[in-house]
Amino acid sequence: MSGGHLFAEGGRDFIINADGASRGNPGPAAAGWVIRDAADGQILLEEGLFLGKETNNRAEYFALLFALEDALVLSAHSVEVRLDAQLLVRQFQGRYRVKNRDLKPLFERVKRLAGAFERFTIKHVPREENRDADAAANAALDAQKKK
């Protein structure tokens, strides 16, 4: 390790798509994320997790948190995050302040995790470009519904 970062020497570059889903706001919610190898686009991990009752914005933050944690476990040193949640992206870019007290601790956790990578970028993408992560979140919601 170097410079206090958590990344491994020779780590990999990943592209992360993450999405939160809430049926009701707040309501039953889930997080979904897909991690791809940036070199060849191969899906390394596709995951969805039921969160319980949450707002959509908190579900979006949880999806990003879980995705970044998994990327660290997979030895990523560089991540490009793609989200269709414009609010979250703009908060991270410093264009919007995080005013909601329920989002501030999540924002701080994501910020700490982002600092663990050699390179971290985040960008807004249209919903169509985030289908895999959306499908993972909705699959987790549907699976919970059947229980």
Structural domains in the chain, CATH included, are 12-146 (3.30.420.10)
Q: How far apart are CA 15 and CA 36, in angstroms?
A: 5
pLDDT for res 10: 54
How big is the chain by its Cα radius of gyration, in Å? 15
Quick one: pLDDT at residue 11? 74
Q: Interior CA angle at 17 toward 16 and 23, to 5°?
A: 145
- H runs (alpha helix) in 3-146: 56-73, 86-92, 104-114, 131-146
pLDDT of 2: 33
Helix/strand number for the chain, H first, E second: 4, 5
Peptide bond into 26 cis (omega under 30): yes
Query: What tens-digit pLDDT sequence spans the chain (147 residues)?
Result: 233 334 344 579 999 999 999 999 999 999 999 999 999 999 999 999 999 999 999 999 999 999 999 999 999 999 999 999 999 999 999 999 999 999 999 999 999 999 999 999 999 999 999 999 999 999 999 998 877
